[in-house]
Amino acid sequence: MRGSLARVATAVTAMVALSFIIPLGLLNGQMARDRALGAADRQAASLIPVLTVTREPATLRDALGSTSAGENGRLALHLPDGTVLGTSHATPDALATARRQNRTFPAPARGGTALLAPVLLDGGRLVVIEAFVPEAELSRGVAKSWLILTVVALALALVAVAMADRLATRVVRSADQLAGAVTRVAGGDLTARVRPHGPAELRAAGEAFNHMADQLARLLVAERETVADLSHRLRTPLTALRVNLDGLAGHPGDPGRIAQSRDALTRLEEAVNGIIATARHPSTMTSPLTTPATPNASAPPAARPPGQTCDAAALARDRMEFWSALAEDQDRAWQLTLPEGPAPVPVAEAELGAVLDALLGNTFRHTPPGTALSLTVHRGRYSTGLLFGDAGPGIPDPEAALRRGASSAGSTGLGLDIARRLAESTGGSLQIGTSPLGGAQIGVWLRTTPVPQPRRR
């Protein structure tokens, strides 16, 4: 893990460094070139006042020799009559282009770059000033800047790797300690614990492991106590059976002792059966970790605990406001009909909200865009109904649609079953029919008040 983190840190730092170093290096090279050409342009511009004053070649040679570039053979004058004063490096084609375009531009030359600056004098005479810049001047300081940038990138990579290795050391040490404790517990050492340290996630994992180990130890202690209690139930019938067998050994054929032995054997058999039944139902054993088993999905719904109520009308308004945004996006006409005042139902708000979302979502999934839908909350005397209608193709086989996990449209097939079980948990029902819009209508009826039984005479 330490090696992986080091490689990741190196790769990330290298990418970030390259994204800055390469543009900086290229910009430095361009700046060095511009700096050299700018100096050459200033050398060439220093001859313009001389050209406006005199036309004598000797004077112009003296002016060339007075400049540093002319003294080093990097400055030349191309007169209109073809005379060249100084050392020329430009090609004839570049000189012809400068005279024709009458603008200053750099042209490639042998060993460097020639800056050609045409100057128009009195009488229409055109003089071209040539300032030569060697290749070394164009790239002066570029190699050094690249070296400095490379050293900076390597230093950043080393710092990143060192920090990643330090973090990896903390993580690996905590993970190794946790793995070792898990291995010890798996080997039967229930006293293994860890000292939570390192990153927050690993500290939380260590605390969770310690809590799990404590709970597991308490569970085993409780199970041992339970087994001891169950085993103690066998002592009484075993003792009675032993006494009776001892009596039969001294008085063979005694009918009373035979009957007592049979009774003790029956009690022993009942005790063994009770122990087996208790052991096969963990929820009956005293344990801090055991919980009642999850009921089968096909089992009838249990009675709901009292005190769970919510307002079906307010919840329907809230969920319809949520789904109306999607309905407007799909050009679906929708209608919400609510009773005056609240419509309390004996279910939890979260469970009823899940049913509303599931059935409304089925309308959007199983009907094409543009299909109208409606939701009606009907508050009756003994029950409250939620009627989901649409203008889609309907449900051709209602019985198959109500089977848990069965769906002909590629969904989970659990939405209708969830709604049905919620309705039946209150004593209500779920009905599938045809809505006034022409499509399917799902009616979820939640019992709110027990139906009074008729009096018998």
Calpha distance 158→155 (Å, rounded): 5
User: CB–CB of 402/432 below 8 Å?
Assistant: yes
Closest CA to 127 of 70, 85, 166, 159: 85
Give residue 295's pLDDT band: very low, low, confident or very high (50, 70, 90).
Answer: very low
pLDDT, tens only, 94-124? 888 888 888 888 888 888 888 888 888 777 7
> Which range has the top average pLDDT, 172-186, 248-262, 277-291?
172-186
Q: What pLDDT score does 292 carry?
A: 33
Pinpoint the residues of the chain covered by CATH 3.30.565.10: 310-447
Q: What pLDDT score does 385 carry?
A: 93
Q: How far is CA 385 from CA 65, 241, 317, 339, 403, in A?
A: 107, 65, 14, 11, 22
Calpha distance 401→398 (Å, rounded): 5
pLDDT, tens only, 367-409? 888 999 999 999 988 899 999 999 988 888 777 777 654 455 5
Structure tokens at 281: 């139902």
Quick check: helix, strand or coil at residue 187?
Answer: coil
User: Which of 48-62, 300-314, 333-347, 440-454 has the weakest average pLDDT?
Assistant: 300-314
pLDDT, tens only, 209-267? 888 888 888 888 777 655 655 554 454 456 556 655 665 666 666 666 566 566 666 76
Give residue 296's pLDDT band: very low, low, confident or very high (50, 70, 90).
Answer: very low
Closest CA to 391 of 321, 334, 341: 334
Scan for tokens 């679906």, then name that residue: 332
Neighbours of 202 (CB within 10 A): 19
Task: Give the CATH number of domain 233-284; options: 1.20.58, 3.90.25, 1.10.10, 1.20.120.
Answer: 1.20.58
Closest CA to 271 of 234, 244, 239, 236: 234
For residues 138-160, average pLDDT: 83
CB contact set of 205 (below 8 Å; sequence gap of 6+):
178
Question: Which superfamily, per CATH, for 310-447?
Answer: Histidine kinase-like ATPase, C-terminal domain (3.30.565.10)
Calpha distance 283→303 (Å, rounded): 19
Q: What pLDDT score does 286 carry?
A: 44
Give residue 145's pLDDT band: very low, low, confident or very high (50, 70, 90).
Answer: confident
For residues 288-317, average pLDDT: 56
Calpha distance 259→254 (Å, rounded): 9
Calpha distance 446→457 (Å, rounded): 31
Q: What pLDDT score does 271 carry?
A: 61
CB contact set of 196 (below 8 Å; sequence gap of 6+):
174, 202, 203, 204, 206, 207, 210
Pinpoint the residues of the chain covered by CATH 3.30.450.160: 2-143
Neighbours of 57 (CB within 10 A): 13
Q: Is the pLDDT of residue 195 over 80?
A: yes
Calpha distance 322→366 (Å, rounded): 19
- State the first-to-last Cα distance of the chain, in angstroms, to the nearest integer: 84
pLDDT, tens only, 2-22? 677 677 777 787 787 777 788
| Residue 3 or 365, more confident | 365
CB contact set of 13 (below 8 Å; sequence gap of 6+):
153, 156, 157, 160, 161
Pinpoint the residues of the chain covered by CATH 1.20.58: 233-284
| Residue 302 or 439, more confident | 439
pLDDT, tens only, 31-74? 888 888 888 888 888 887 877 777 777 887 777 777 777 777 78
Whole-prediction pTM value?
Answer: 0.36
Q: What pLDDT score does 300 carry?
A: 39
For residues 326-345, average pLDDT: 89
Structure tokens at 2: 């330490």
Neighbouring-strand partners of residue 336? 375
The b/e string for 418-441 (b: 16+ C-beta within 10 A; e otherwise) is bbbbbbbbbbbebebeebebebbb
Calpha distance 202→185 (Å, rounded): 18
Structure tokens at 261: 């032995």
Mutual angle of helices 415-425 and 349-366, in 10-degree steps? 150
Neighbours of 53 (CB within 10 A): 10
Q: What pLDDT score does 73 carry?
A: 78
Which phi and psi (to 5°) does residue 82 adopt?
A: 95, 0
pLDDT, tens only, 417-454? 778 888 998 999 999 889 899 899 999 999 988 766 66
For residues 338-352, average pLDDT: 90
Q: What pLDDT score does 376 carry?
A: 94
Handedness of CA 341, 347, 352, 353 (dihedral sign): positive
User: CA angle 222-228-234, nearest 5°?
Assistant: 150
Calpha distance 88→130 (Å, rounded): 7
**CATH node for 2-143:** 3.30.450.160
For residues 151-156, average pLDDT: 84
Instruction: Outline where 346-414 has alpha helix (H).
Output: 349-366, 398-402
Q: Is the pLDDT of residue 301 over 50?
A: no
